[in-house]
Amino acid sequence: MGLFLAIAVPLELPSTNVYLSYNFEANYNLPENQSTYDYPPIVSDRSLGINRKNVYNALEFKLNSHGYPGKQCLLRTICEAAEYALDGNGVLGDIIYVLLSPSASKNENLSPDFENAEKQGKIKKSCTVYEKQCPISLLGLISWLETTFTEV
């Protein structure tokens, strides 16, 4: 069994349909028969290691690998997410809100830059300071996708 997640972003090329896609895959084995079960189940006290710090590091690494300033672009995205209040836009909006709002979870000893970016967007409603440091808007790409698909 496995879980698959794919994010596809169309690239703007004249008279050509090209999509940039990121695929994530997780595989796990199912038990072959009932004798492989133990009751009561053994519950591990080990964490999966999925926390905000690791997710932010992965996003920074991915942005850096594409030639963008990773941390600055992540800060811009956090600021824009706070500025536009995405938490009321269905499941995707809720996921983006939780992912890009450092205040949505317990203190994970993140750099104060992340909290400052969220406050900048939420309180001052202006992310221009981050726009100078990062040339792309990741949330703008999502909005562009929505606009493109509603026009079709």
Give me the phi and psi of 27, to 5 degrees please.
-115, 145
Residue 151 is which amino acid?
E
pLDDT at 119: 94
Cα(50)–Cα(45) distance, integer angstroms:
14
Q: Is 14 helix (H, G, I), strand (E, B) or coil?
A: coil
- What's the mean pLDDT when you consider all of the chain? 81
Cα(110)–Cα(7) distance, integer angstroms:
26
Number of domains in the chain: 1
Q: Which of 131, 55, 52, 124 is nearest to 83 (CA)?
A: 124
* Model confidence pLDDT, tens digit, residues 95-147: 888 888 998 888 788 899 999 999 999 998 889 999 999 998 888 877 665 56
Structural domain boundaries, residue 89 = 2-151
Residue 74 is which amino acid?
L
* Model confidence pLDDT, tens digit, residues 7-59: 887 777 777 787 778 787 877 777 677 666 666 666 666 666 778 888 899 99
- The pTM of the full predicted model, rounded to 2 decimals, is 0.66
